[in-house]
Amino acid sequence: MDTKNIVLEIDAEISRLQQVRALLADTNTGRPKPRASASASLRNKRPVRTLRDAARAKISAAQKARWAKSKRAAKKEVRNAAAAAAAKKTTPNGRVPKKASAKKAVPVNKASQPQTKAPVPAS
């Protein structure tokens, strides 16, 4: 090998080692180098986008429709739950049992007497 090439390679290695030493010395101080955030660099490059009033109204109407749909579904679910609860109260043959207070009370004295028909007078 040529001595000039050897000297050039040694100089290149020395410069790389000096760069590594500088990096290690900077990180040992406890102060990291400030970096530009990605959002800051993108913010400067992208133009500001604004919505027209018609587009904003369209988006608003679509969101309100989604909310109304979810409210309808919630109300339907509540009605279905109430219907299921009422269905649980039915008897196996499908009738809803009556409450005891809803039955007519029969007086004891009338129930014990046999019912007879009064004779109809002949004319």
Please determine, for residue 26, whether its predicted confidence score (pLDDT) is greater than 60.
Answer: yes
User: What's the CA gap between 118 and 113, in Å, rounded?
Assistant: 14
Mean pLDDT of 30-47: 64
Looking at the whole model, is its pTM more than 0.75?
no
Confidence (pLDDT) at 115: 62
Mean pLDDT of 66-88: 88
Please determine, for residue 89, whether its predicted confidence score (pLDDT) is greater than 90.
Answer: no
The single residue listed with the structure tokens 């500001």 is 48
Which residue in 44, 41, 22 sits closest to 33, CA to CA?
A: 22
Confidence (pLDDT) at 75: 92
Query: Please, what sign has the CA dihedral across residues 93, 99, 104, 106?
Result: positive
Confidence (pLDDT) at 81: 87
- What is the pLDDT of the chain when averaged over all its residues? 77
Could you tell me the maximum CA-CA distance found in the chain, to the nearest angstrom?
A: 158
Which residue in 105, 88, 109 sits closest to 97, CA to CA?
A: 88
Q: Is 29 helix (H, G, I), strand (E, B) or coil?
A: coil
User: What's the CA gap between 20 and 26, in Å, rounded?
Assistant: 10
Question: Are 87 and 79 spatial neighbours (Cβ–Cβ below 8 Å)?
Answer: no
Q: Is 77 helix (H, G, I), strand (E, B) or coil?
A: helix
Q: How confident is the model at residue 68 (pLDDT cuts 50, 70, 90)?
A: very high
